[in-house]
Structure 1
């Protein structure tokens, strides 16, 4: 099950972590759709996660971020890492269902602790919705390809670029809000509940990012109305959110909808025409299914649906008065807008 060329490296890890050369049991873990090889192993009667990164990039930032998160109680305990071998061993979390009502409280508190950590490193390439704020050749090329592929009908394509330009023009991508972020919480498989505590796993995408990116993306799964949003943001900020915080959060949500529309429509279409006559499920219902692990984004048809779900949501949102008000507030923040210092819980 373990590639032959990695057997010696895994043995080294077992010896350093546990003083043994063999595990008692092994099974492959397939959740999360990572390109890495992930296994549940049993050593000394206890389960652990063995992860072998198959890509060639340097995992230093990944392991450094994961260790810092583990020390803060955000990620499972780290027993071993090897940058050279691209191998890690961590505690295994026996996941249990987490009710949405409970997640509404626990998840923003977890993000608050994570975002208060000393700054993670910056990534050479942004894989999150704030990629749309990183002006330069990479973004220009991605946007140009999306336009020329004609995935969206003409009117919708014009709408996409108009709304993107509108948000990007006012959203402040500033160092003051850059924090240590997970950046892959749109996947429910990366949020594990053991019956008492919530853990974040799969730290390959962790880097320094705008705090509202994690907040907005995770909210897709648990926030369905204004009252829930107030509870969610209050748990994060430790106080009732002010107008500026709400506005910035709202605009990041729209940026995320645009980003996931573009990415998953591109992936799902695979160069083929999209059937726009097919109905798509509602945003909240679809994310409830995702939270229940009923949605597999490895399938191209599912990717198309996911992209369209986000597109329908952003089209609805930008026609509401709140969107225009958020653009105004963020573009002209009041001098008295407060900045709340976040501390670990």
Structure 2
């Protein structure tokens, strides 16, 4: 089950962490849609997670962020990491459902603690919506492929570009709101609840980012109305949110819609035309299914549905008075 070439490295990790060279039991963990190899192992009667990163990049930033989060009580205990071998061993969490009303209170508190950690390192990549706020050939290339991929109708493609331009022109980036961020919490698989405590896992995408990016993707799962939004933000900020904070949060949520429309329509279509005649669930209903682990975004058909749900929610939101008011409030604040 463990690749032969990693066998000795795993034995080294077990000796370093537990003083043994083998485990009692092993099984594959498949959640999270990661390219890494992830196993549940049992050592001396206790379960742990063994993760072998198969990509070639340096995992130093990943492990540093994971350890900092674990020390702050946000991530499972880290028993062992090896940058050279791309191996980590952490506590295993036996998961229970986290009801949305509880998550609405617990998760903003978790994010508040995370974002208060010493600043994480920057990363050479950005897999979050703030990718759209950067500059450079990577963004230019992705925008070109999307805008010439015919995944949206000409009219919708024009609206996507117009909304992107106005958000990018107003939303401030690389400022005092940059904090230690997880950056992969749109996946409910990365939020584990043991019945008492939420834990965040899979820190490969962690880096310094705008605080509102984590807030926006978590809110997609647990915020369903204005009252919920106020409760969510008040728990995070420790006080009723200001007009500016609510406006900035609202704009980040629209940037999330833009980004995931682009990303998931591109990934799901594989360069083929998208059938827009098929009905899709509402954005809220789709996230209810995601939170209940009823959706597998590894499936290309689900990617297309998810991208379309984001697009339809964006189109609805930008036609509301709140969107224009949020643009005005954020644009008026001195940077």
Structure 2 counterparts to residues 1-345 of structure 1, below 5 A:
1-333=1-333
Unaligned runs of 5+ in 2: none
Give the match for residue 339 of structure 1: none
Give the SS at the match of 1:175. Answer: coil
Normalising by structure 2, we get a TM-score of 0.99
Distance in structure 2 (CA, Å) of the matches to 1:165 and 1:71? 40
Distance in structure 2 (CA, Å) of the matches to 1:220 and 1:147? 25
Distance in structure 2 (CA, Å) of the matches to 1:240 and 1:111? 16
Distance in structure 1 (CA, Å) of the matches to 2:174 and 2:120? 16
Give the SS at the match of 1:253. Answer: helix
Give the SS at the match of 2:39. Answer: strand
Deviations 1:33-52 (A, max 9, x none): 00000000000100000000
TM-fit CA distance, 1:273: 1.0
Root-mean-square deviation over aligned CA pairs: 0.8
Give the SS at the match of 2:176. Answer: helix
TM-fit CA distance, 1:175: 2.5
Distance in structure 2 (CA, Å) of the matches to 1:126 and 1:243? 28
TM-fit CA distance, 1:150: 1.2
Deviations 1:143-192 (A, max 9, x none): 01101111100000000000000100000003200000000000000000
Give the match for residue 343 of structure 1: none
TM-fit CA distance, 1:334: 7.3
TM-fit CA distance, 1:136: 1.4
Give the SS at the match of 2:50. Answer: strand
Distance in structure 2 (CA, Å) of the matches to 1:125 and 1:287? 26
Aligned pair count? Answer: 335
TM-fit CA distance, 1:73: 0.3
TM-fit CA distance, 1:135: 1.3
TM-fit CA distance, 1:137: 1.3
Give the SS at the match of 2:33. Answer: coil
TM-fit CA distance, 1:271: 1.3
Normalising by structure 1, we get a TM-score of 0.96
Deviations 1:298-318 (A, max 9, x none): 100000000000000000000
